[in-house]
Amino acid sequence: MFNGLFNFDAKFWKTLIPLLINPGKVSKDYKEGKRSRYSNPFRFYITVSIIFFLIIGLIMSKKRFDELTKSNKENIVEVVKDDNTKEITQKEIDSLKTLVSDKIDAAIIPIPEAAKNQILKEIEKEAKDTTAIKMSDGNRISFNGGSRLDKFVKYQKKYPDSKIDQALDSLNYDKNFTNRFLYTRAKAANSMVKKDNRDKFISELISYASISLFIFLPIFTLFLKLFYIRRKYTYVDHLIFVFHTQTVLFMLLTIFSIITLFIATENFWIFILLFLLYLFLAMKKFYQQGYFKTFVKFIMLNFVYLLLGTLGVTMVGLISFAFY
């Protein structure tokens, strides 16, 4: 299976290059029967999406490695002040930074200079933003204050070793399936305070998201067919176009993700604008309509995409949390 997916033959490159530089051409050629020169749209999409999710996993692993290299400043610095209302002076901040710097330099595991400077910068920022520095885990998961789940979260946090039925008895709730399930979710929510658990949850979320796209894209294609109902395009024609454009989105996201591995950048909006421009030009070429009609349908389709995407992300998030 994987040999077929990752077999980068001549067809792969003959599909990749025109797909990127000539919006709508590959889909148009495919509709007109010129298919022999191109890779199968579905298999091509699967290959690119797998590469994208592998890159995302690599980035998460790299971030985790970087955090371990920094040795987490909470474990390097321990500051306890008896008077929490006393304002920390600049002199005390400088003294603290000097102490931390010396400890970092003396660390067994060498810490890069850039990481060291970032740690010192964060320490100074926290000291200035608060009246005291507390190196403790102050994270808190909270829901609607009066909700049942919020009560379960607070109780489970206070008594982490308490059994489910024992907790429900203490809180005067019936020991039924719903309450037991909600209490297990409260335990999962409290576990999110730990970064390792958050990373695990995000990994599961990504895996569910990759699967949900197989449901999302065919549904989105139905709207595309509705918007072009007077045009002589079959559902399969629309689906091929959707797979091609979604593949380009994954390719752009993959390029951006690879860049972030080496360069810290926040210019994600550039890639979004590039894709939106690509999508407009692809629609113009594939559906052969004027600029005004294409623009109107472009806006409408993006609205539908965002709506379905929001619903999809919400459902995936709930499902991931339910089974976490």
Q: What is the pLDDT of residues 260-306, one digit of tens each?
A: 777 766 777 888 899 999 999 999 999 999 999 999 999 999 999 88
| Nearest-angstrom CA–CA distance, 275 and 257 | 15
Concatenated DSSP letters of 202-267: HHHHHHHHHHHHHHHHHHHHHHHHHHTTTS---HHHHHHHHHHHHHHHHHHHHHHHHHHHHS----
Give the pLDDT of the chain (324 residues) as one tens digit per residue: 444 444 556 777 888 888 999 999 999 998 888 888 888 888 888 888 888 878 777 776 666 555 555 544 444 444 444 444 444 566 666 666 676 666 556 554 455 566 656 666 665 655 555 433 333 344 444 444 446 767 777 777 777 777 777 778 778 888 777 777 777 767 666 665 555 555 555 666 666 666 677 788 899 999 999 999 888 899 999 999 999 999 999 888 888 878 877 776 677 788 889 999 999 999 999 999 999 999 999 999 999 988 888 887 777 666 665 655
Residue with tokens 């990759």: 210
| Per-residue pLDDT, 302 | 92
* Token pair listed for 159: 């008594």
| Nearest-angstrom CA–CA distance, 229 and 233 | 8
Task: Collect all residues with Cβ–Cβ distance below 8 Å to 311 and sequence separation of at least 6.
Answer: none
| Per-residue pLDDT, 271 | 85
| Per-residue pLDDT, 101 | 66
| Per-residue pLDDT, 157 | 75
| Per-residue pLDDT, 76 | 45
Mean pLDDT of the chain: 73
Domain extent listing, the chain = 2-66+195-323, 79-129, 148-191
Residue with tokens 């599961």: 204
Concatenated DSSP letters of 280-302: HHHHHHHHT--HHHHHHHHHHHH
Nearest to 173 by CA among 156, 151, 190: 151
Maximum distance among all alpha carbons in the chain?
78
| Per-residue pLDDT, 133 | 35
Whether residue 183 contacts residue 156, with contact meaning beta carbons closer than 8 Å, is answered with yes
| Nearest-angstrom CA–CA distance, 195 and 210 | 23
